[in-house]
């Protein structure tokens, strides 16, 4: 009996010592990233890139109604695994084939939960995994991120959880981001004193709110989340006002995986553009027929206001004007036009078209010319009668919808996105989530989700400047597709932008606007300007209409965060090159050694004109013969660009 008691005591002491302190280490497949997880009275971790500490004193926990997972944790076991496979992407925006190579370590704790870490050579991520009965109420999730002294961040500040996710980037020292009323949505970019950078993001957000961050008062960030809405009040035709909230951030199944907390680690800025971690970590799409989803260019009516000139009919939201848009799209091989707000009898009655236009006649007119019509909707109109509405649109022959004004990311709204995608897939509709939060990986789970807004794009007029837009490839577009709506033919330098409803203007040179189609990523890509201007600028339009919206491979030729970017993308046997710069002129040389050897190609480039720094519409078109040994000089004026096709 005494021996049995002694054995029990020794076991208890052993478990107590294990609970007091245990360090679990792991490394990425290439060994360049190292992770150390300490388990004592809480769970903390640090992440190194080579000899440089990237994240330090990071803590994590998940608070339920009855307890906190990660508080006084009891580690039961550690399970290690790895993967190395090549995955084929649907609607690829970087590479058609993506290598999924990581080492994983899973820490299983007493109490029905685990924390899983994955280490890739270009980043790391973790998530909670629970095996609990029934439903649970999640009161909060603590994700504290610490950074080396001297770090700085580029983030989009908001004053609350309701947001259009269209804020400019603010640069701030992480040590100074310490006010409780300052917060930002993800992704956030953090730069280390030695030059390395980490992009903070999330993936696999389903049945759960999106994460925001604020300063923790100690030079780091801490997470915060919107609570579940409880009561609403009407707020116009496109929104609801939340008047009461539940005390929890989510009520969800007790057995599930939670969102991945992602850190993309970049030794060089180019790695931010090349990374695909958000896609890799997201749930794969169901093994179903997705071939009906057709990415492509779309002519958009809203930005240019449909102010057509040189026509013999009254311009506006009417049959004649939309015929003009369809004719324009047909001429240039553009597969879609969008009918934005105003196509329906009202924003709430979307089963009947505006009486000034014959929608069925226009659908038939477009079908004869291989042009389909995408329809704009408010999220409230969709929510009111989703299945009947989508069934009606399918019957009409509508291929896709643009849904707008969600402006929230609480658990209910995140669930709304997924319900929309499921229902839209049943009725073979693709979706453009406008007025949306930033991508969290759902575009992999549902390939009919072609793009999101969640960006300070060109619809913001003079607010949209290269000084902000040139950060997008490194931050916003690095986590998923981006509906920036480029393509202004009437553009100006920032000091000259006098954009109005009658005369909208883009900022940056003509070549800058053209290069955005190569630099930015969106399987559904807008042509935002007036068809009259596009017809007038035929050489530019001919180029833009041929730029693919999905790609086979990506080469980043030069990248400096917020300053300049030059990329080359391949589709089939054609290469496209795009470059943009900020308010400083930029010149570089690019080697075309990515071309197959032994062949001669024709390169057609659109470059800043000699006076483009004064008159932004000035450009020149050049055609020359090139091969794999050619080195091309790329010159850009301030807020300028460079775009080319090699075929």
Residue 20 pLDDT grade (very low, low, confident, very high; cuts 50, 70, 90)? low
Q: Which residues are catalytic?
A: 404, 459
Mind listing the pLDDT tens digit for each residue in 498-550?
998 889 999 999 999 999 999 999 999 999 999 999 999 999 999 999 999 99
User: CB-based contacts of 256: which residues, under 8 Å, 6+ apart?
Assistant: 129, 130, 207
Q: Are residues 217 and 350 in the same domain?
A: no
**Contact between residue 389 and residue 396 where contact means Cβ atoms under 8 Å apart:** no
Residues 236 and 118 in one domain: yes
Q: Are residues 331 and 371 in the same domain?
A: yes
Do 108 and 211 have their domain in common?
yes
pLDDT digit string, tens, across residues 4-15: 343 333 344 334
**Spatial distance between the Cα atoms of 223 and 483, rounded to a whole number of angstroms:** 27
pLDDT of residue 10: 36
Q: What is the CATH number of the domain that holds 545?
A: 3.20.20.70
Asked whether residue 53 is domain-assigned, the answer is yes
Residue 128 has pLDDT above 60, yes or no: yes
Give the domain range for residue 573. Answer: 491-517+552-647
622 and 610 in contact (C-beta within 8 Å)? Answer: no
370-398: average pLDDT: 99
Collapsed DSSP state (helix, strand, coil) of residue 510 = helix
**One domain, residues 218 and 168:** yes
Please state the rounded mean pLDDT for residues 22-27: 98
Mean pLDDT confidence for 240-260: 99
Are 352 and 384 in the same domain? yes
**Does residue 419 form part of some domain?**
yes
Alpha-carbon distance 479 to 485, whole Å? Answer: 17
Counted domains in the chain: 3
Which whole number is the average pLDDT over 336-354? 98
CATH number at residue 189: 2.70.98.10
Query: What integer is the mean pLDDT of 240-255?
Result: 98
Q: How far apart are CA 32 and CA 266, in angstroms?
A: 11
**Residue 640 covered by a domain:** yes
Determine, yes or no, domain membership for 136: yes
Q: For residues 91 and 524, what is the distance between their CA atoms, to the nearest angstrom? A: 10
Q: What does the pLDDT read at residue 1?
A: 41
Task: Please choose, from the candidates 375, 379, 385, 377, the residue with its C-alpha nearest in 3D space to the C-alpha of residue 415.
Answer: 379
| 405 and 470 together in one domain | yes
Residue 16 has pLDDT above 50, yes or no: no
- Are both 260 and 401 inside the same structural domain? no
Asked whether residue 262 is assigned to any structural domain, the reply reads: yes
263 and 206 housed in the same domain = yes
Q: What is the mean pLDDT of the chain?
A: 96
Q: Return the bridge partners of 506, or none.
A: 491
- Please choose, from the candidates 328, 304, 301, the residue with its C-alpha nearest in 3D space to the C-alpha of residue 317: 301
Domain end (from 239, 254, 281) = 281
Q: Are residues 266 and 328 in the same domain?
A: no
Same-domain status, 471 and 565: no
- Looking at the structure, tell me whether residues 539 and 577 fall in a common domain: no
Residue 589 has pLDDT above 90, yes or no: yes
Other CB atoms within a 10 A radius of the CB of residue 130 amount to: 20
> Would the pLDDT of 627 be above 70?
yes
Q: Is the pLDDT of residue 404 over 50?
A: yes
Q: How confident is the model at residue 180 (pLDDT cuts 50, 70, 90)?
A: confident
Residue 291 lies in a domain: no
CATH code of 508's domain? 2.60.40.1180
Locate 131 and state its tokens.
Answer: 């095996």
Where a domain ends, among 505, 529, 551?
Answer: 551
CA atoms within 13 A on the CB side of 480: 32
Phi then psi for residue 87, to 5 deg, are -110, 145
Max Cα-Cα span within the chain = 104
CA dist 144 and 223 (Å) reads 6
**Looking at the predicted structure, is the pLDDT value of residue 50 above 80?**
yes
- pTM of the full structure: 0.96
Tell me which of 87-91, 217-221, 363-367, 408-412 is least confident.
217-221
Write down which residue in 535, 551, 567 finishes a domain.
551
DSSP line for 180-225: TT-EEEEEEEEE-TTS-EEEEEEE---SSPPPEEEE-SSSSEEEE-
At 181, the pLDDT band (50, 70, 90 cuts) reads confident
**Does residue 168 belong to any structural domain of this protein?**
yes
Whether residue 3 is contained in a domain is answered as no
Cα-Cα end-to-end distance for the chain: 86
């Amino acid at each position: 009996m005494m021996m049995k008691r002694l054995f029990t005591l020794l076991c208890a002491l052993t478990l107590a010592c294990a609970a007091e302190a245990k360090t679990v280490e792991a490394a990425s497949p290439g060994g360049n990233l190292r992770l150390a997880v300490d388990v004592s009275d809480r769970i903390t971790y640090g992440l190194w890139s080579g000899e440089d500490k990237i994240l330090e004193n990071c803590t994590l926990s998940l608070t339920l109604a009855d307890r906190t997972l990660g508080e006084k944790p009891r580690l039961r076991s550690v399970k290690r695994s790895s993967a190395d496979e090549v995955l084929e992407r649907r609607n690829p925006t970087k590479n058609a084939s993506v290598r999924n190579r990581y080492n994983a370590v899973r820490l299983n704790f007493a109490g029905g939960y685990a924390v899983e870490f994955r280490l890739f050579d270009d980043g790391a991520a973790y998530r909670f995994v629970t095996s609990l009965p029934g439903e649970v109420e999640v009161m909060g999730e603590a994700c504290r991120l610490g950074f080396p002294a001297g770090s700085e961040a580029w983030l989009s500040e908001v004053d609350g959880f309701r947001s259009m996710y269209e804020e400019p980037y603010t640069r701030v020292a992480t040590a100074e981001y310490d006010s409780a009323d300052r917060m930002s949505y993800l992704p956030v970019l953090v730069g280390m004193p030695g030059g390395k950078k980490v992009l903070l993001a999330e993936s696999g957000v389903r049945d759960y709110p999106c994460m925001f961050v604020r300063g923790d008062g100690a030079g780091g960030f801490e997470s915060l989340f919107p609570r579940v809405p409880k009561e609403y009040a009407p707020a116009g035709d496109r929104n609801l006002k939340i008047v009461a909230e539940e005390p929890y951030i989510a009520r969800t199944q007790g057995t599930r995986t939670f969102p991945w907390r992602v850190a993309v680690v970049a030794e060089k800025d180019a790695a931010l553009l090349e990374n695909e971690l958000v896609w890799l970590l997201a749930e794969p799409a169901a093994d179903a027929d997705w071939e009906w989803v057709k990415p492509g260019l779309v002519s958009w009516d809203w930005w240019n206001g449909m102010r057509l000139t040189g026509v013999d009919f009254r311009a506006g939201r009417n049959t004649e004007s939309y015929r003009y848009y369809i004719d324009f799209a047909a001429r240039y091989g553009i597969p879609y036009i969008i009918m934005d707000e105003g196509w329906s009898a009202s924003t709430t009655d979307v089963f009947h078209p505006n009486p000034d236009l014959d929608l069925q006649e226009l659908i038939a007119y477009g079908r004869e010319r291989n042009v389909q019509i995408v329809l704009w909707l408010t999220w409230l109109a969709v929510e009111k009668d989703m299945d009947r509405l989508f069934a009606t649109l399918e019957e009409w022959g509508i291929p896709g919808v643009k849904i707008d004004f969600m402006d929230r990311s609480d658990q209910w709204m995140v669930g709304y996105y997924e319900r929309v995608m499921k229902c839209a897939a049943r009725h073979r509709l693709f979706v453009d989530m406008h007025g949306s939060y930033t991508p969290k990986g759902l575009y992999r789970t549902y390939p009919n989700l072609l793009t999101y807004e969640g960006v300070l794009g060109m619809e913001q007029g003079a607010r949209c400047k290269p000084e902000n837009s040139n950060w997008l490839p490194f931050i916003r577009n690095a986590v998923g597709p981006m509906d920036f709506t480029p393509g202004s033919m009437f553009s100006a330098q920032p000091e000259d932008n006098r954009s109005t409803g009658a005369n909208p203007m883009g900022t940056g040179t003509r070549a800058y606007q053209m290069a955005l189609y190569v630099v930015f990523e969106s399987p559904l890509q807008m042509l935002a300007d007036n068809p009259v201007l596009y017809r007038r600028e035929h050489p530019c339009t001919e180029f833009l209409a041929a730029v693919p919206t999905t790609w086979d491979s990506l080469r980043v030729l030069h990248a400096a965060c917020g300053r300049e970017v030059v990329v080359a993308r391949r589709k089939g046997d054609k290469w496209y090159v795009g470059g943009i710069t900020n308010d400083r002129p930029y010149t570089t040389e690019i080697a075309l050694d990515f071309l197959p050897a032994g062949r001669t190609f024709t390169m057609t480039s659109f470059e800043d004109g000699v006076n483009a720094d004064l008159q932004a519409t000035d450009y020149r078109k050049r055609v020359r013969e090139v091969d794999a040994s050619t080195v091309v000089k790329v010159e850009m004026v301030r807020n300028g660009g460079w775009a080319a096709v090699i075929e």
